[in-house]
């Protein structure tokens, strides 16, 4: 397949937009985080929208190339060790999903650590395919299973996974109501959605049910809901202004430029400089990769 690229005009416009938010946002961030803490510090404490959930700016995604309850780290046999290393390095947010098969590995990696010292996000697969079973039980049944797999009394964030059309907020109302009920009972702290189309993204921006959104964003348009990032940035701003928590994913293009420092560093700087993203997650595959990205973020200047 021929690789698609942004036109020079689109790329420059995107980077210019990012530079503008960096210039505007850096002074505001400095006032908020203080002189001793950089706005790009991966371990800086952030709050996800209005949820009250506090965690680190950088989170670990456990589902790179995830499907049918497996992911790159489970297939390589390194899931537990990489998750544990990420925690010991300072990362406090761990992004799981039923389709990744990483719940038991996450529980094992963090079993000796007090539950209030880390944040768990996970996702329900409610569409066809994605997991071995064809049945899609109610949210309470699914989340009870998740809690057992994660060895926890509560889960910080549960999202509907991979919504792809503009009707998801009506089609998935059964699961949405179920998660709302679980939040009221304090079984979960927040709910939301991850999306994989621009129509689904725009619906999420309007739906008051969404507490936290996973959004695909990088300056190159790789593995995003629109090839032109300048179309996505205003929607992210809308999320932010409405008080929704914003988690950036696909920051390195879904792995397409994970080994290309000429794209990694500009992408990290662009996303962090938007000023409308609460945190980013990276799908780490090794302990060395964890350390590498931590170092990269520490060296980014948003001034």
Report how far residue 198's alpha carbon sits from residue 159's, in angstroms, rounded to the nearest whole number. 18
Task: Quote the pTM value.
Answer: 0.90
Q: Is the pLDDT confidence value at 213 over 80?
A: yes
Please give the average per-residue pLDDT across 95-118, as a whole number.
Answer: 98
Lowest model confidence (mean pLDDT) among 30-44, 108-122, 272-286 = 30-44
Q: Is the pLDDT confidence value at 113 over 50?
A: yes
Report how far residue 79's alpha carbon sits from residue 204's, in angstroms, rounded to the nearest whole number. 31
Q: Is the pLDDT confidence value at 58 over 80?
A: yes
Q: What angle do CA 268, 271, 276 make, to 5 degrees?
A: 150
Find out whether 79 and 73 touch, Cβ atoms under 8 Å. Answer: yes
* Separation of CA 298 from chain center: 19
Whole-number pLDDT of residue 38? 87
Report how far residue 223's alpha carbon sits from residue 57's, in angstroms, rounded to the nearest whole number. 22
Q: What angle do CA 173, 174, 176 make, to 5 degrees?
A: 60
Find out whether 150 and 122 touch, Cβ atoms under 8 Å. Answer: yes
User: What is the share, in percent, of the chain residues with pLDDT greater than 70?
Assistant: 87
User: What is the share, in percent, of the chain residues with pLDDT greater than 90?
Assistant: 86
Whole-number pLDDT of residue 164? 96
Express each pLDDT in 1-24 by its tens digit.
444 455 544 544 555 555 444 333
Q: Is the pLDDT confidence value at 87 over 70?
A: yes
CATH code: domain 49-298 is 3.20.20.100
DSSP 170-214: HHTHHHHHHHHHHHHTTSEEEEEEEE-SHHHHHHHHH-TT-SEEE
* Separation of CA 32 from chain center: 22
Residue 115 has φ and ψ, to the nearest 5°, of: -60, -30
Largest CA distance in the chain: 53
161: left (phi over 0), alpha (psi -120 to 50) or beta: beta
Summary mean pLDDT of the chain: 91
Which residues in the chain belong to E strands, given as ranges?
Answer: 45-47, 54-56, 58-61, 93-95, 119-124, 155-163, 188-195, 212-216, 245-249, 279-283
Q: What is the dihedral sign for C-alpha 297, 251, 104, 286?
A: negative
58: left (phi over 0), alpha (psi -120 to 50) or beta: beta
Find out whether 297 and 40 touch, Cβ atoms under 8 Å. Answer: yes
Express each pLDDT in 232-262 by its tens digit.
999 999 999 999 999 999 999 999 999 899 9
Report how far residue 257's alpha carbon sits from residue 245's, in angstroms, rounded to the nearest whole number. 26
Report residue 280's pLDDT band, with 50, 70 and 90 as the boundaries.
very high
Report how far residue 45's alpha carbon sits from residue 52's, in angstroms, rounded to the nearest whole number. 12
Report residue 84's pLDDT band, with 50, 70 and 90 as the boundaries.
very high
Whole-number pLDDT of residue 14? 56
Q: What angle do CA 256, 191, 41 make, to 5 degrees?
A: 50
Q: Is the pLDDT confidence value at 221 over 70?
A: yes
Q: Is the pLDDT confidence value at 27 over 50?
A: no
Whole-number pLDDT of residue 234? 98
Cβ density class 61-82: b for 16+ within 10 Å, e for less:
bbbbebeebbbbbbeeebbbeb
Please give the average per-residue pLDDT across 108-118, as a whole number.
Answer: 97
Report how far residue 124's alpha carbon sits from residue 222's, in angstroms, rounded to the nearest whole number. 25
Residue 61 pairs in a beta bridge with: 95, 283
Residue 213 pairs in a beta bridge with: 193, 246
């Amino acid at each position: 397949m021929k690789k698609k690229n942004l036109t020079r005009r689109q790329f420059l416009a995107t980077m210019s937009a990012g530079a503008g938010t960096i210039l505007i946002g850096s002074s505001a961030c400095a006032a908020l985080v203080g002189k001793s803490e950089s706005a790009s510090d991966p371990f800086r404490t952030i709050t996800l929208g209005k949820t009250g959930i506090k965690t680190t700016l950088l989170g670990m995604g456990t589902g790179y190339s995830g499907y049918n309850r497996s992911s790159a780290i489970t297939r390589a046999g390194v899931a537990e060790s990489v998750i544990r290393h990420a925690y010991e390095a300072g990362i406090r947010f761990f992004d799981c999903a039923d389709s990744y098969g990483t719940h038991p590995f996450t529980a094992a990696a963090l079993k000796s650590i007090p539950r209030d010292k880390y944040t768990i996000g996970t996702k329900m697969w409610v569409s066809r395919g994605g997991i071995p079973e064809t049945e899609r039980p109610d949210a309470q049944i699914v989340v009870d299973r998740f809690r057992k797999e994660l060895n926890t009394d509560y889960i910080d964030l549960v999202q509907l996974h991979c919504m792809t059309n503009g009707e998801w907020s009506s089609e998935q109302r059964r699961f949405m109501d179920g998660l709302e009920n679980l939040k009221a009972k304090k079984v979960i702290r927040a709910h939301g959605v991850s999306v994989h189309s621009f129509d689904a993204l725009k619906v999420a921006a309007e739906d008051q049910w969404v507490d936290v959104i996973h959004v695909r964003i990088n300056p190159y348009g790789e593995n995003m809901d629109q090839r032109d990032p300048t179309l996505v940035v205003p929607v992210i701003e809308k999320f932010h202004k409405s008080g929704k928590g914003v988690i950036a994913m696909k920051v390195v293009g879904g792995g397409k430029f994970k080994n290309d420092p000429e794209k990694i560093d500009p992408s990290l700087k662009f996303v962090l400089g938007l000023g409308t993203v609460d945190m980013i997650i990276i799908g780490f595959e090794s302990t060395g990769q964890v350390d590498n990205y931590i170092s990269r973020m520490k060296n980014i200047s948003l001034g």
